[in-house]
Amino acid sequence: MLEVIGAGVGRTGTLSLKTALERLGFGPCHHMLGLFEDPGQIPMWQAASRGEAVDWRQVYAEYRSTVDWPGARFWREISGAFPEAKVVLTVRDPESWYASAASSIHAAAVAPPPEDADEGFLRLREMSLEVVWDGVFDGRFTDKEHALKVVAEHDAAVREGVDAGRLLVFRVSEGWEPLCGFLGVPVPDEPFPRSNERGRFMDEVRERSAVGDAGGGGRGDDRDGRGDGGAGMRDDGGEGAAE
């Protein structure tokens, strides 16, 4: 049963949050990357995007937490299905977020796949287009002003729609203390996770589709802050902790 719902959009530190939640005992944690290994869930997410009824308890039967897309699109439905679960809204500097998303997950989704692409990747790509890029951003993600407005409205809706005592607005750069205090668990005696989401995502893309450097840079670029396609911003959730 879900205990923690991540309502923040992808590229706001969601992989770091996933790692942190699992370290704190709230695992397994659902994340878009997991669908590479569990493509059987993809039809359920596509059905949800079409407005069809979905049994959220079935979707999350094996999970204690969820972050990232596709779940973030359906935060209302999921939080309604699990009324006791707490909600974490990860946020990031808008300009940094857009540069990161544009050069990684969006670039990979819209790049024409090669003929020998892995079937699982093709299904996940189709789902991400339907659920996220067409479903959330109306096929207009490349219109930067529109994309930033969509995310701002998403975040505002979460803030307004979730009771204050149930919601934590969180930047991964804040580290363990606010997260652990919110969840009522001890602070680990170790650094907060600095998960390199862009590097891991692009590794998956290269392995399964041969898309190559569609994200504008590989794992090494993320580490020195140039992995956003040359925009000079850290790809780290905004303020010094990796995604």
H helix or E strand, kind and range, residue 89: strand 86-90
Classify residue 231: in a domain, yes or no: no
What's the pLDDT tens digit per position in 84-127?
A: 999 999 999 999 999 999 998 999 899 998 788 888 888 999 99
The model carries a pTM of 0.85
Backbone angles phi, psi at 168, to 5 degrees: -120, 120
User: Residue 237: what pLDDT?
Assistant: 52
H helix or E strand, kind and range, residue 170: strand 167-170
133: domain range? 4-223
Classify residue 230: in a domain, yes or no: no
Classify residue 241: in a domain, yes or no: no
User: Residue 121: what pLDDT?
Assistant: 84
Classify residue 82: in a domain, yes or no: yes
Classify residue 55: in a domain, yes or no: yes
**How many domains is the chain partitioned into structurally?**
1
User: Residue 54: what pLDDT?
Assistant: 96
CATH number (domain holding residue 94): 3.40.50.300
User: Residue 130: what pLDDT?
Assistant: 97
Classify residue 234: in a domain, yes or no: no
User: Residue 120: what pLDDT?
Assistant: 83
User: Residue 198: what pLDDT?
Assistant: 60
User: Residue 241: what pLDDT?
Assistant: 41
For residue 84, how many C-alpha atoms fall within 13 Å in the half-sphere facing its CB? 4
User: Residue 191: what pLDDT?
Assistant: 96
Measured distance CA(39)–CA(116) in Å, rounded: 18
Classify residue 232: in a domain, yes or no: no
User: Residue 234: what pLDDT?
Assistant: 37
Residues of the chain under the 50 pLDDT cut: 211-236, 238-242
What 77-80 contacts at long range (C-beta under 8 Å, 24+ apart), as own/partner pairs, is 77/48, 78/2, 78/5, 79/5, 79/7, 79/162
Classify residue 72: in a domain, yes or no: yes
